[in-house]
Every structure is written in structure tokens, then in C-alpha cells.
Structure 1
């Protein structure tokens, strides 16, 4: 199914003019949306808890910073830009009591709405504006006169203008410069989780690590394994990003192409696809969400352990040494702000 790509001409930014846009949280997505909307002429206020390290940062950017309850009272549009499993507590205590009819509740990811961790009252609009990129990229592309594509969705349309508000918001952050596509909260949530788990994060990091371990265990140097299995990954991904899979194949050697089309399917075979299908089913039936919620309630012991184990893997040590040789790869603070509520 081909979907219409919505551009600047399809959105009316004036729908946000004269309204107060409240951003709860000032982390990766929060700071990007707030700054881009501010630069687009929208009145933006930031809601943070009193001890947040982001208060000083937000004020340096020229924002008015208020307690989240005050923003919930005064804002016409509320964007909950905090981690998924922090949202329900903040919503219940600081937002819901002041969510009067006629307001708009907004999200950048559909998780809490789709899995009913937040159940908004019927008198408000509930919308989604989900840029397909991290916050620092959303901000950087906007500043450079471009934009990051976004998905928009409507969960509740009390006013009859929820879609138009979502589209105006997407324009305010620069997404209609390149393209906006309509979806649903369910589709955005389930495809986003699947992509993260099976391909972009979980699948990719496990593939890189397995390749590195295979070469090192066979007696090759960790440096060679790092270059072949991690360092060059960016070069291939950049080619795919720019030109698609066929475009990437055009740019590599005949030998690499032959290995691609004959050996790749032996690695990502029907067994892998079957496990991917199970991953998707666990997302669709709520099993993944249930396990993640239970992990957070328990204090994230497995989450912490697995991340610590990953940080101690030999690929991190050799990678740190190699990256130190290249000054342009020095670690950067990607968005320059404290992730409030994290």
C-alpha cells in the first residue's frame, strides 16, 4: 500500500499560533521538539520536576521552565517527552488532574497509549508525532534547513482538528520539509519495537558481536575483527541509506556481491525469520511490554547486568583503542542536555 507523503503545503502552522505548547521533559526528543517549535514561532514552555538538571539548560535556551503541574494547567498542547515507563506515573500525578476538555495530549511514541498504561479522558485530542531519528538529528537537520521524516497518528479526535494539529506540529519541527506519513498508534508502536529488537539494535549488535567473536576465536587479531565486523558497518549502512540495498551492491566489489547474495541467506535463514516472527508476536500480544514493565518495577536488575556485560566485551576495549587513533571519532555529547526524568 502506497501512502501519501505530506509536505509543507499540506500543513498549517498557524494552527499552533496563539497556543501554548507544553513540553514535559527536556531530554533527546523533548529538547529537539521544543527548540524547533520555538524557532518556528510557537510559544513553548518546559515542564520539569524541581530537582531536574535540565532546568538550567532549558533556561539558557530561553525557555520558561515551570513545574509540570503548572504546564499541564496552562498549556493547550502537552507533549510527554519522557521515557515510556516514566510517563504513567507523571501522567497520573501531574497531568491527568489538570487535563481539561479541549486540550491536546501528544506523544513521540505510541507505547503507553497502545498498551493502555495511559488512558486519556474522552474530552481531549490524543496525537502522535514520531520523528524517524534521534533528537539530536531532529535538531541538527532543522538548523541546517532540512528535516527528519515523521509519522503522525490520531488516537482521539475530540475537536475534529487532531490530525491538523499533528501535522502542524510536524511542520514546526521541520518534518514536512522532507515528508510526513500517517499511521496509527498500534502500527507505529509495534513496528518500532520490532525494528529496534530484531534489526536496528538487537539484531545488528548481536550480528556484529558474533562476527567479531568468530574471527577472534579463529585466531585473527581483535583489531582486524573490529575493522571487518564493526568499523566498516557504517560504510555499508551509509550506502544502503543513500541508495537502497541494490545501490549498495552497485558500489561494492563483484566478490563482495557474490558473498552477499549467496552467504547472507545462510546466516539470516528461515530459522532466524521464525524467531523474528516470534519476536513480533510477543510485541503484538503484549508479552514484551509486560516483561519490560516487570523489569522496571523490579529495579531493572537484568537490564543493568546485561548492559554492564556488554560494556565489558573485548570489542569495546579494542574499539576504544582504535577510535582514539582517529580524532574525528572522539566521543561527543550528542544533544548537550540532561535527559530529564531518566
Structure 2
């Protein structure tokens, strides 16, 4: 693996170019503001009535409807939610000028065929490996965030150079850029979301909390033990790595983890992880995402309702009020 940094990257493919960013959410806002601060011409495409329009305008950014923002743009970055991208592409496809470049920060829409871009378009991806809020704060502090970059189609012969120049312009060249593919980024990201950070970890925290409370432990104590300490673990792992993390905790905690961890993360769990990975690769999850969106997100709305009403959430709020 080669980690490319600013010194390795030619910024000229983006020089004098007009960038349109469709969407002003997590990634759209951060990338647009970083581009603007770096002197890149950028405008925002938002649907009529979007509640993001006022926010983007207050930042001094030009806001147009998606098709108008796309017209004459050299690079159009589709940074709206994955399940909305096919509809958005249909709305802007006629406005894309010949030979323009279409960009993404996630590989799902292209890898699973939700979008079939015109053959004259370059298709690139720059995927910062973290939330937009962190991408923005790191940039403002003179730092950067590692990103994956990929090219799905190089119609012009210069798509890779453009992808690198864009990644550098949003600050990722300060930390490092890894060459990847739409498939690799998409599959790895979806697997992490489902089987590790956003799927398994919250469920594990809630299960630990419930187990202690059911045994008679006060909810506040259970919350502090099973949820609050996650931040300390994350900071240690980020700062020194998994191996050194173990050396920085007590012998009691280290031995407890050694005895307890493998009992939970056993061959059954690893088998289930492989099943999740197979389902992602097959396209099953991409289909489920589209079905959920078409139905108005019933499972997501119900999940959010249950989480907001849970004892764990009420305990968190109680501790916040007491702090």
C-alpha cells in the first residue's frame, strides 16, 4: 500500500474548475467549506424547499437547484444519502456537460448499479474515513483525514489525477490517500457499519447495560460502566493501538478482557460476520436500503422511537442533567 500525501499530488487538475456539490449534509457541508477555503470554485445543489439551503447560504455559498448547479460544472459530487442518488442522477443527467466528471464519497450507488452514468463521464470516488464534522474540524486546524480514492471510469484519461487533486483540496492529502476501488470501499464500509462499529458495538453496550440493571445494579452505575467508558477505550486505541492499549489498563482489566472477550467474540460470531459480508457482497443490503426508502423508512423510524424511549437513554439524560 502506498499512502499518498500532498507532496505526491499535482493540484492542477482541479485548478480553475467549477465543482458542484449536490447535498449539504454530513460530507457535503464539510467538503464544500474545505474547497471554498482552499480557493476552489464550488456551488451547492439542493432541492427546492430544502432546510439546508439557508445554512449553506449563510456560509456564503451559492445555492441552486441540483440541475442548475450541475450545468457547466466540471466535477459534480453526489453527496446526498445513497438511496436518493439514483433519483438525483436522473434529475441532473441532462444538465451534465459532455466530458464532465461525476464524483462520490461512497461506492454503493456505482458498485451495486443504482446509477449507470453516461459513457462520456469520468466516475471517481474520494471517501474520507470519518464523519464530515471531523473532516471539517481537522481541516480548520491545519490537519487532515485519511481518505480512499478510486476511479470507476476514466473516459478522459485524467480521472485519477482529478480524484487525487480533489482529495488534496479537501485536506485529505495532509493525512494520506489510499488507492482503492468502489467495490472495496463500499463492501468494507458497509461491513464495518453492520458488523462492527454501528451494528455490533451499540448492541453490545445496550446488552451489557441491560444485564447489569436486571441483576439489581443501579441504571446510572450500569451506564457509567458499560457505555461511558467506551470513549476512553476509543481514545486509547486511536492514540496507541490495540496492543499498547492493553498495556495501559490495569492488570485486572486486562485479565478480565482476556478471559471474557473470546467467550463473546467466538467462532459463532465470526461465522455471523462472514454471513453479513456475503449478504453485502450479494447486493442484498443495497436492495433492502432501497426498499426501506421506498416504504418511508418504517424500520428506521421504529428503531429510533424505541431507542429514544429506552431506559438506557433516560439514564443518559438523567446523568446529563445531574452533571
In structure 2, how many angstroms separate the alpha carbons of the residues matched to 1:27 and 1:84? 12
Partner of 2:76: 78
SS of corresponding position for 1:155? strand
Conserved? CA contact 2:73–2:96, under 8 Å? no
Query: 110, 114, 118: which one pairs with 1:117?
Result: 114
Partner of residue 196, structure 1: 193
The Cα shift of 1:65 comes to 1.4
Give the 3-state SS of the residue equivalent to 1:86 in structure 2. helix
Q: Once the two structures are superposed, what CA deviation does each residue of 1:1-33 show, in whole Å capped at 9, x if it has no partner? A: xx1000001112222111100011111100110
Q: Please, which of 148, 154, 157 is the counterpart of residue 151 of structure 2? A: 154
1:223-234 to structure 2, matched below 5 A, reads: 223-234=220-231
> Which runs of 5 or more residues in structure 1 are unaligned?
327-342
Q: What is the number of residues matched between the two proteins?
A: 323
Q: 2:126 aligns with which of 116, 126, 129?
A: 129
Write out per-residue CA displacement over residues 196-248 of structure 1, whole angstroms, 9 at most, x where no aligned residue: 11110110000000000110111111011101100011101110111111111
> Which whole-Å CA distance do the structure 2 matches of 1:270 and 1:102 have between them?
50
1:49 paired with 2:64, answer: no
The aligned residue for residue 17 of structure 1 is: 15
Q: What is residue 213 of structure 1 aligned with on the other side?
A: 210
1:324 partner SS = helix
- After the TM superposition, which of the residue ranges 13-22 and 209-218 deviates more from structure 2? 13-22
Query: Are 1:175 and 2:172 counterparts?
Result: yes
Q: Secondary structure at the match of 1:151?
A: strand
Q: 2:285 maps to which residue?
A: 288
Question: Secondary structure of the residue that 2:44 maps to in structure 1?
Answer: strand
When the two chains are superposed, the root-mean-square deviation of aligned CA atoms in Å is 1.0
Q: Secondary structure at the match of 2:144?
A: coil
Q: TM-score, normalised by structure 2?
A: 0.98
Q: Following TM superposition, by how much is the alpha carbon of 1:100 offset from its aligned partner in structure 2, in angstroms?
A: 3.1
Q: Within 1, Cα distance between the matches of 2:321 and 2:126?
A: 38
Name the SS of the counterpart of 2:116 in structure 1: coil
In structure 2, C-alpha distance between the alignment counterparts of 1:124 and 1:115, rounded to whole Å: 18
Structure 2: gaps (5+ residues):
none
3-state SS of 2:3 partner: coil
CA drift of 1:323 comes to 2.4
Moved beyond 6 Å, runs of 4+:
none
Residues in 2 aligned to 1:187 and 1:60: alpha-carbon distance in whole angstroms:
37
* Map of 1:35 onto structure 2: 33
Counterpart in the other structure of 1:91: 89
- d(CA) in 2 for partners of 1:211 and 1:152? 38
TM-score (norm 1): 0.92
2:298 and 2:175 mapped to 1: Cα distance?
41
Q: Which position in structure 2 is the counterpart of 1:238?
A: 235
